[in-house]
């Protein structure tokens, strides 16, 4: 298989972690006979330094022409004084909207070797955690009308949460397609006992479910979902929800599986369009250039690209299994270090994972 990948190395630890993820992809290509052509797409603070803007047009074009985009992280104190419109993070927002990605996929997966780091009770953690949150990314209250007005001598602030049927429908299709490649269970999370937008959400998700008769759909109120995620996360396979609820639940989910350095995410749009793959953390300027960053979040983001954009499930699994093996053998970067384990740097962690893939 031949695929083109746009690479945004970014700032801070971005170049270190993307370097390791790209080397892992090269190992996958060598082992399984694929060809991945890389195109650099500068974005973030480094792009401000070189081109005066956080997302040059040429970079967006490169991303749109690719089969998938791999992003490290952008930003850092050097660019904090930039005007709001020209901050590195603005580049990221422009990239997401330019790529038309409307679904954020956040896996909550516990690697068996890291069970001890799980803040949940042992008997809960031992049942395993392996679900994904599919969050709507471009609608809802974040994108509704925001206004503050004076009424009867005091300020009143209003934020509007609205959803159209097509926004809900296209997201629900992504969630069901994901579930069909997994354990075929979709939990739609809403607040239909209070919100009109949630009642429409429920109706549309139920209509979409008819296209996936093998999948099991259930509904859960968001307050209950927040409790169930810490009470018994093993009950979930795919959670699908709107923007604000998804923001909160996906962060809750990432807390129960370990370090911020371990977690990947994907942002997807319509089928056939490139997806955006990145770790959930930022550019960690405090440890940049010191070979201390954990590259696993970015390596797992590359695995998600193999699975969701290239349809290479076997290869994606090979990467995830390699990560699990290295952790099981005791290799740990500083952020996930435990007593009795072997400390390794960013480069060594990447090398061990590649070795496992080649040996596997």
15 near ligand NAD (CB under 6 A):
no
Q: For residues 335, 336, 338 and 342, what is the CA-based torsion angle, rounded to 10 degrees?
A: -90
Near ligand NAD by CB under 6 A: residue from 35, 40, 286, 338: 286
> By the 8 A CB rule, do 54 and 44 touch?
yes
- Mention every residue, 6+ apart, whose C-beta is less than 8 A from residue 154: none
Q: By C-alpha distance, which of 310, 279, 331, 332 is closest to 35? A: 310
* Selected range binding ligand NAD among 24-32, 70-78, 100-108, 324-332, rule: CB under 6 A: 70-78
Near ligand NAD by CB under 6 A: residue from 106, 109, 135, 281: 281
Of the pair 225, 293, the CB lying nearest ligand NAD is at 293
> By the 8 A CB rule, do 56 and 237 touch?
no
The span from the CA of 11 to the CA of 286, in Å, is 12
> Pattern of binders to ligand NAD over 201-230, x per CB under 6 A?
------------------------------
Near ligand NAD by CB under 6 A: residue from 15, 68, 75, 264: 75
76 near ligand NAD (CB under 6 A):
yes
* CB atoms inside a 10 Å sphere around CB 340: 7
Residue given tokens 């049942």 in the structure block: 127
The span from the CA of 6 to the CA of 139, in Å, is 26
Catalytic residues: 142, 191, 223, 247, 251
Of the pair 222, 262, the CB lying nearest ligand NAD is at 262
CB of residue 80 to ligand NAD, shortest distance in Å: 7
The residues binding ligand NAD (CB under 6 A) are: 13, 17, 73-76, 89, 92, 260-261, 278, 281-287, 293-294, 297, 335
């Amino acid at each position: 298989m031949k695929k083109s990948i746009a690479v945004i190395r970014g700032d801070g630890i971005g170049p270190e972690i993307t370097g390791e993820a790209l080397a892992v992809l090269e190992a996958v290509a060598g082992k399984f006979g694929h060809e991945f052509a890389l195109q650099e797409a500068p974005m973030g603070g480094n792009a401000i330094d070189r081109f005066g803007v956080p997302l040059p047009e040429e970079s967006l074009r490169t991303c749109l022409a690719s089969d998938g985009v791999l992003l490290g992280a952008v930003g850092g104190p050097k660019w904090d004084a930039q005007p709001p419109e020209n901050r590195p993070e603005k580049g990221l927002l422009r990239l997401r909207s330019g790529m038309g990605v409307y679904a954020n996929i956040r896996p909550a997966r516990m690697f068996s070797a890291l069970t001890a780091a799980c803040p949940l009770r042992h008997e809960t953690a031992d049942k395993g955690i392996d679900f994904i949150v599919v969050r709507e990314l471009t609608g809802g209250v974040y994108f509704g009308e925001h206004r503050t007005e004076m009424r009867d001598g005091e300020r009143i602030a209003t934020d509007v949460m609205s959803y159209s049927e097509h926004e809900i429908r296209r997201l629900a299709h992504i969630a069901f397609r994901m579930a069909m490649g997994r354990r075929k269970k979709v939990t739609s999370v809403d607040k239909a006992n209070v919100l009109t937008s949630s009642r429409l959400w429920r109706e549309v998700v139920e209509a979409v479910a008819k296209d996936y008769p093998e999948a099991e759909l259930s509904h859960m109120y968001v307050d209950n979902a927040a409790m169930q995620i810490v009470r018994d996360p093993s009950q979930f396979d795919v959670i699908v929800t709107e923007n604000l609820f998804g923001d909160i639940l996906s962060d809750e989910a990432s807390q129960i599986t370990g370090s911020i350095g371990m977690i990947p995410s994907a942002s997807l749009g319509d089928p056939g369009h490139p997806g955006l793959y990145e770790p959930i953390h930022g550019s960690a300027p405090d440890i940049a250039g010191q070979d201390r960053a954990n590259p696993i979040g970015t390596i797992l983001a590359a695995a998600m690209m193999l699975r969701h954009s290239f349809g290479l499930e076997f290869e994606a699994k090979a990467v995830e299994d390699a990560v699990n093996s290295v952790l099981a053998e005791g290799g740990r970067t500083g952020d996930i270090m435990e007593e009795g384990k072997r400390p390794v740097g960013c480069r060594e962690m990447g090398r061990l994972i590649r070795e496992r893939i080649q040996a596997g």
